[in-house]
Structure formats: structure tokens, C-alpha cells
Copies of this chain bind each other. A is one copy, B any other.
């Protein structure tokens, strides 16, 4: 891993991200001031549970998995972050210690923002605070969704849900490419890879065709009522 300054394309990615685009421009600039960039290989650990955290991370490219460890060493994914998503805001307002482990799930480029500075800006500028509030609410909702899905849905239902969430409204049949390995998807859905595979083959009878990373949906209705 090496640390660099931001390139102009890095800046562009950041400024277009969901979070930055809600930030007052001056604040966005101020935060970018102290930003650095690091590159990581697959399986690199970005931080570990209970580590003291001084930076907020933003994924510029690649994929980051956030997970907790059980006593027996098993891993439970809490969240998966893609390009433009922000990691570690929670930490900033708690005790500054990570509540989970973060690991690159593919080769990744990560922007690191000083959380002290961001925290301070939030204390000075309600626009910044507002953006953070929206970000946290959004994260919170995703986690809640996840929890509810775990408790209410079977494996094929979760997968059907995931597929539908990638389906443009109105279209009856369509196809898309998984944004990451099935491995990672399984973790995100709280499944073992084998269970994901079996779920896909169950869904075949509802018009889901899987070819490598490409998912094709032939009958949206059937999926919805699964």
C-alpha cells in the first residue's frame, strides 16, 4: 500500500459522490485539502475492529467489505461499499474506534479524509452536518433492511429481492452484471456461497438465468411473488 495525493480524476469521483454532492462547495474543497489516497490489493485489511480511526474512507474504485469476527473466527458482513461510498462516519461520532474490520474485496483505491477536520466542519457548518445526517440515515436504513431481510426472508427470497433492486422499474425482462464476485454477494446477503448458488438454481424456475456474473431476468412477476 502506498499513499499519494489526489489526482484530478480522484477529485472528480469524490465530488460526484452521493455524499460530497450534498456538501456545501467550500466545505467540500476544505476537506479535499487534507485528503490522501491509498491503493490496496485484494484482501488487504484497511482497519481492524477496535483500531483507533483517524480517517474517513471513500472508495474511489474497487470494493470494501466491512465485517465482524465471531469468537470462532467466522466472518459476518455488515456492509459492502462501492465506488463513491463513505466508510467510518459512525466511528467519528462514537469513541473513534472501529466497530468492525474493513478489507478490500478487490484491488481498490481509497481516499482518506481527516475525520478531525470533517468533525470540525460539521460543528461549524450546518450544511455539512446536514449532509452527514442524511448519510447516516441512509446507512441506518440499509442496515435495518438487512436485518429485516435476514429475519423474514429465505435465501432465494433475498436473492430475488437483490435482483429486483437492480431492475429498472417498468421493465418486464432485463439483464445486468453483478458488480462483484458471487462470494461477496453471498456474504452481503448473509449466506454461505453454496447457499447463494442453490438459491440461484431455485430461481431458475422463475425465469432467472445466470451466466457467470451476468444475471438475466425473464419474468419479473414470478420473481416478485417469490
| B123 near A93: Cβ-Cβ < 8 Å | no
| B122 near A125: Cβ-Cβ < 8 Å | no
Neighbouring B residues of A122 by C-beta, 8 Å: 126, 129-130, 133
Q: How far is the CB of A141 from chain B (nearest CB, A)?
A: 6
Give the docked Cα–Cα distance between A46 and B62 (Å): 43
Q: How far is the CB of A158 from chain B (nearest CB, A)?
A: 12
Choose one: B92, B129, B152; the contact of A76 (CB below 8 Å): B152
Q: How far is the CB of A210 from chain B (nearest CB, A)?
A: 24
Interface string of A18-38 (1 = CB under 8 A from B): 000000000000000000000
Q: Which of A9-17, A52-60, A143-151, A163-171 contacts the other chain?
A: A143-151
A binding-site residues for B, Cβ under 8 Å: 68, 70, 74, 76-78, 89-90, 92-94, 99-100, 122-126, 129-130, 132-134, 136-141, 143-148, 150-153, 190
24 residue pairs of the A-B complex, CB under 8 angstroms, read A68-B152, A74-B152, A76-B147, A77-B151, A78-B147, A90-B140, A93-B133, A94-B134, A94-B137, A99-B144, A100-B148, A122-B126, A122-B133, A123-B130, A124-B126, A126-B129, A129-B130, A133-B136, A136-B137, A140-B143, A143-B147, A147-B150, A150-B151, A151-B190
